[in-house]
């Protein structure tokens, strides 16, 4: 199988962004302009690490009529969790906000995007898990990433796990894209080193999957190549968390998100989704764990990944599937094999003949 058309015909990117040290100071001007165009309170969804914003909303230029919601990042987003946040906002009488802010990592930004969609589209979160099911633009939304790598600030999806179905999918729609980004590398200075690496390498993994896949396009390829170059510059250097490195990684995260929005992920992400659904592992560290089993499929990138981890002295968990029950292994298989688009991108239309149940379980056993 050669290079195939991605099927993404008309790409939606974030229309406005600002990047650089101190960029968050632009929020006051942006909110002032927004309030002049739309009535209703501003909703700020804030990563629990920055929970001081709950008691001091002046940091976000909010008023007494606005609403701050602290988002737990203990677990990845679920459809039930998103519905609970949305119902809570409605219980406060909020029906038509003027803007929604998502300040945090991928969990918080994805939650903000989902809440934005639900305000203007009937039904609950699981209604819109899939491709282009959101029919109406959501509430104006501002993304403020505080960690780099997931690309949630740039992508057209917000990923959630449906506990009832075991399905980990997003609201994949052009209406899910943020309207405005504030990318301030100063906000990433407090990220723990290991987490900084795990999350940053999500951008790298997005792009090695895209470039190795069957669904390609020229702009996505160019964005992927530069994202990989930036990641190697950051993680191959002596100080991956210097001011210059943190800004480079923020650029890589955004570009990697733009790249994957025009293509599909490959083999790592479906296996990572299995670890998240069955074992509750956070997405980015799960990606890194999956790389332990990817030598067969991405040999050059496998060596490069582990060299970068060694350079930074980062420990990636191992043995995470040791001692699992037969039922858990079966759940891992089912939670992985369901990702048809990604697996087709990686292995072609006959992926199910390659990824037999025994093969999938052997791959998990290497983790």
Long-range contacts of 81-89 (CB under 8 A, 24+ apart): 81/111, 81/160, 82/111, 82/114, 82/115, 82/118, 82/125, 82/160, 83/118, 83/124, 83/125, 85/45, 85/111, 85/115, 86/115, 86/118, 86/119, 86/124, 86/125, 89/43, 89/115
> Looking at residue 5, what is its pLDDT?
63
**Could you give the C-alpha distances from 54 to 17, 102, 141, in angstroms and in order?**
25, 13, 19
Place of tokens 């939650």: 111
pLDDT surpassing 90 at residue 94: yes
Q: How confident is the model at residue 1 (pLDDT cuts 50, 70, 90)?
A: very low
Q: How confident is the model at residue 261 (pLDDT cuts 50, 70, 90)?
A: confident
Domain 193-365 fold is Dehydroquinate synthase-like, alpha domain (1.20.1090)
The reply to whether 193-365 shares the fold of 16-188 is no
- C-beta separation of 53 from 44 below 8 A: yes
**Candidate CATH numbers 3.40.50.1970, 1.20.210.10, 3.40.50.1100, 3.40.640.10; the one for domain 16-188:** 3.40.50.1970
Sorted by where each begins, the domain ranges of the chain are 16-188, 193-365
- Does the pTM surpass 0.85? The reply is yes
């Amino acid at each position: 199988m050669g290079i195939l058309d991605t099927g993404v015909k008309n790409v939606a990117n974030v229309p406005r962004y600002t990047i650089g040290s101190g960029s968050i100071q632009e929020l006051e001007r942006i909110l002032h302009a927004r309030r002049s165009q739309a009535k209703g309170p501003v909703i700020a969804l804030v990563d629990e690490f920055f929970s001081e914003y709950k008691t001091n909303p002046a940091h976000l230029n909010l008023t007494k009529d606005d609403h701050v919601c602290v988002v737990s990042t203990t677990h990845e987003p679920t459809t039930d969790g998103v519905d609970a946040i949305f119902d809570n906002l409605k219980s406060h009488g909020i029906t038509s906000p003027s803007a929604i802010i998502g300040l945090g990592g991928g969990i918080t930004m994805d939650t903000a995007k989902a809440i934005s969609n639900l305000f203007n589209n009937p039904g609950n979160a699981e209604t819109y898990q899939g491709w282009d099911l959101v029919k109406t633009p959501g509430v104006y939304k501002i993304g403020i990433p505080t960690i780099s790598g997931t690309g949630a600030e740039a992508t057209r999806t917000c990923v959630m796990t449906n506990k009832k179905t075991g399905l980990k999918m997003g609201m994949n729609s052009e209406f899910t894209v943020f309207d405005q980004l504030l990318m301030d590398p100063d906000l990433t200075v407090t990220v723990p080193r290991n987490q900084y690496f795990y999350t940053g390498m999500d951008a790298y993994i997005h792009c090695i999957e895209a470039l190795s896949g069957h669904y390609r396009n020229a702009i996505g390829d160019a964005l992927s190549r530069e994202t990989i170059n930036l990641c190697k510059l950051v993680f191959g250097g002596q100080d991956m968390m210097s001011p210059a490195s943190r800004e480079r990684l923020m650029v890589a995260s955004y570009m990697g998100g733009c790249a994957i929005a025009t293509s599909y992920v490959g083999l790592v992400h479906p296996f990572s989704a299995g670890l998240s659904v069955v074992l509750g592992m956070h997405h980015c560290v799960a990606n890194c764990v999956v790389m332990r089993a990817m030598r067969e499929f991405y040999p050059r990138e496998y060596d490069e990944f582990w060299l970068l981890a060694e350079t930074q002295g980062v420990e990636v968990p191992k043995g995470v599937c040791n001692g699992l029950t037969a039922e858990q292994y079966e759940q891992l298989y089912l939670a992985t094999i369901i990702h048809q688009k990604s697996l087709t991108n990686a292995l072609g239309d006959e992926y199910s003949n390659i990824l037999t149940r025994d093969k999938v379980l052997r791959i998990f056993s290497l983790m």
